[in-house]
């Protein structure tokens, strides 16, 4: 797509940088952005279709035998290439020129040279273009090619004015641009799309903005979307809206122009780069970077030097902002990864703790089940012991009655004084106590010895039996801390109990906390 206006068109990018940020309040809608994104993804398909059309023309040209047809097909190929790959367009215009020269076809020769001049403008070879245009003028332009000649001059000086931007050369090029455009208006059929386009440009240059907008709007409504006239009209409407300070509408028309260029595989374009700048100033860095990158790729692909120069001014600005944003995103992503990692570690720790608690709970349940079983067994031992003592007491009472009735009082006294009787009772009590206690605390002996120094640990000679020291501390573990009560249970003196306790405590690893540690035996930690 070509530059259409004078200074406003030429300074559009520069002016936008200064004014969009201050004036723009609205953003281009997501609908247009999504549509552009979709069309950009379809670029390979559009380019393949374009290439297929060119290949079919090249095949026809290769199989054609007449010079006239070959010249015509070379011109068709060159026109297809003109906004696609400028180097290839120049090549085929040159071929057409050479073939026209060889067969002395002056009309085709002039048409090919005019086509070449347009491509020279795209390539930035302005001096060569002006020289060739001057040469064409010197030979005279056939009436049938006057419109094409005027369009060539208008387009060439449009590129030159855009490149100059300002100053004396800009003014000179603008005068030539106005001359060719005004002459072209006179030569075109009235109310044709091109006529309306150039007339609208003329109106706008004269300050007749409403007339210009009406004509551009008519073009946009009536010309097919894939026509380059449509794309230029939409871009010009964007320039007018920008000058009026209506930035959201300017962006909308830029989007229409960009979509038209994409669908038509027009690589020599400006709308997408201007839209990128607008979005950059609006803070949409992702779209701005995507569009400016696509615009640069198009300019390089087409070898459109003016467009490459324009994009090169914006690329560092948008690229720098994109890298800053990308760094910020990477920083945020790193923070997110760290947070997720910490949460994952925390979750793993929590799961491990839950599993440990579940295992501990399982152990507690087992312990409670065992405790209930031991309690039942202990009650059974207690009842059995009570039954034995009741039976023995009953038998002893019968013996007493029998001895008294038989007048054997002395034997009865002797029996009651016998130590064997008392020993048998004590032995029975110890056996039942040891059995019941070790059922309640099966690890008591091992845990108790773990509290003593290795050389002082107590050896149990009979399994299931407690020594006197172990029995004293068994009572302590059961909560009987009073030495007098322990002495009565075990039939020892209080001093003996104190002596045993002190003796064992002196063998402890931690003497100060020994008895407290004994109280922890059998507990679940």
3-state SS of 26-64 is: CCCCHHHHHHHHHHHHCHHHHHHHHHHHHHHHHHHHHHC
Name, of 143-152, 360-369, 438-447, 489-498, the range with top average pLDDT: 143-152
Helix%, strand%, coil% for the chain, nearest 5: 80, 0, 20
377-396 pLDDT, tens digit each: 656 666 566 666 666 667 77
What integer pLDDT is reported at residue 51 of this predicted model?
95
259-271 pLDDT, tens digit each: 999 999 999 889 9
pTM of the model: 0.62
Span of 122-136, 210-224, 381-395 with lowest mean pLDDT: 381-395
The two tokens of residue 175 are: 């005068």
Beta bridge partner(s), residue 508? 452
User: Does residue 521 contact residue 477 with C-beta atoms inside 8 Å?
Assistant: yes
Q: What is the mean pLDDT of residues 309-318?
A: 88
User: Does residue 260 contact residue 236 with C-beta atoms inside 8 Å?
Assistant: no
CA angle in degrees (0–180, nearest 5) for 212-214-215: 65
CA torsion angle for 466, 471, 473, 474 (degrees, to 10)?
80
The two tokens of residue 107 are: 């009309």
Average pLDDT over the chain reads 85
Confidence band of 24 (pLDDT split at 50, 70, 90): very low
Backbone angles phi, psi at 508, to 5 degrees: -75, 150
The two tokens of residue 507 are: 């063998």
Q: Has residue 221 got a pLDDT over 90?
A: yes
Confidence band of 468 (pLDDT split at 50, 70, 90): confident
Q: Has residue 283 got a pLDDT over 60?
A: yes
* Helices 43-63, 30-41: inter-axial angle, 10-degree rounding: 40
What integer pLDDT is reported at residue 5 of this predicted model?
37
User: Does residue 162 contact residue 3 with C-beta atoms inside 8 Å?
Assistant: yes
Beta bridge partner(s), residue 452? 508
434-465 pLDDT, tens digit each: 887 888 788 888 898 999 999 899 988 888 88
User: Does residue 24 contact residue 277 with C-beta atoms inside 8 Å?
Assistant: no
What integer pLDDT is reported at residue 359 of this predicted model?
85
Q: What is the mean pLDDT of residues 230-237?
A: 94
Q: How many residues does the chain have?
A: 525
């Amino acid at each position: 797509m070509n530059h259409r206006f004078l200074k406003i068109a030429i300074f559009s990018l520069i002016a936008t940088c200064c004014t969009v940020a201050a004036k723009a309040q609205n953003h281009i809608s997501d609908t247009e952005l999504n549509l552009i994104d979709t069309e950009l993804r379809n670029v390979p398909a559009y380019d393949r279709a374009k290439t297929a059309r060119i290949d079919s023309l090249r095949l026809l040209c290769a199989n054609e035998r007449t010079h006239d047809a070959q010249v015509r097909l070379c011109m068709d190929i060159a026109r297809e290439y003109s906004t696609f790959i400028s180097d290839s367009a120049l090549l085929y215009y040159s071929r057409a020129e050479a073939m026209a020269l060889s067969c002395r076809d002056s009309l085709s020769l002039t048409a090919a040279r005019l086509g070449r001049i347009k491509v020279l403008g795209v390539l930035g070879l302005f001096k060569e273009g002006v020289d060739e245009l001057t040469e064409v003028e010197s030979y005279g332009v056939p009436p049938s090619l006057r419109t094409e000649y005027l369009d060539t001059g208008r387009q060439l000086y449009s590129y030159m004015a855009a490149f100059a931007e300002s100053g004396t050369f800009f003014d000179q090029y603008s005068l030539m641009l106005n001359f060719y455009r005004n002459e072209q208006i006179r030569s075109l059929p009235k109310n044709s799309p091109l006529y309306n386009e150039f007339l609208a440009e003329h109106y706008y240059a004269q300050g007749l903005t409403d007339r210009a907008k009406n004509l551009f709007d008519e073009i946009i409504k009536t010309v097919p979307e894939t026509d380059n006239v449509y794309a230029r009209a939409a871009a010009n409407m964007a320039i007018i809206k920008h000058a009026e300070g209506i930035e959201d509408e300017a962006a909308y028309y830029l989007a229409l122009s960009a979509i038209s260029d994409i669908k038509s595989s027009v690589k020599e374009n400006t709308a997408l780069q201007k839209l990128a700048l607008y979005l950059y100033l609006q803070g949409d860095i992702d779209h701005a970077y995507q569009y400016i990158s696509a615009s640069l790729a198009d300019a390089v692909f087409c070898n459109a030097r003016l467009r490459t120069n324009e994009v090169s001014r914006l690329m560092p600005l948008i690229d720098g902002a994109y890298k800053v944003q990308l760094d910020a995103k990477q920083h945020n992503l790193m923070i997110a990864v760290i947070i997720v990692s910490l949460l994952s570690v925390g979750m793993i720790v929590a799961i491990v703790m839950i599993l440990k608690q579940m295992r501990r709970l399982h152990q507690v349940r087992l312990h409670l089940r065992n405790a209930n079983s031991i309690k039942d067994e202990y009650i059974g031992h207690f009842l059995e012991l009570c039954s034995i003592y009741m039976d023995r007491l009953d038998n002893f009472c019968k013996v007493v009655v029998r001895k008294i009735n038989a007048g054997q009082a002395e034997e009865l006294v002797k029996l009651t004084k016998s130590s064997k009787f008392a020993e048998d009772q004590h032995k029975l009590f110890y056996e039942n106590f040891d059995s019941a206690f070790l059922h309640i605390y099966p690890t008591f002996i091992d845990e108790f010895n773990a509290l003593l120094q290795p050389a002082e640990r107590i050896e149990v000679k009979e399994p299931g039996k407690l020594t006197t020291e172990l029995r004293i501390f068994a009572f302590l573990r059961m909560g009987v801390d009073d030495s007098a009560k322990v002495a009565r249970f075990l039939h020892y003196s209080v001093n003996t109990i104190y002596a045993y306790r002190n003796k064992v405590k002196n063998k402890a690893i931690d003497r100060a906390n020994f008895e407290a540690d004994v109280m922890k035996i059998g507990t679940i930690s």
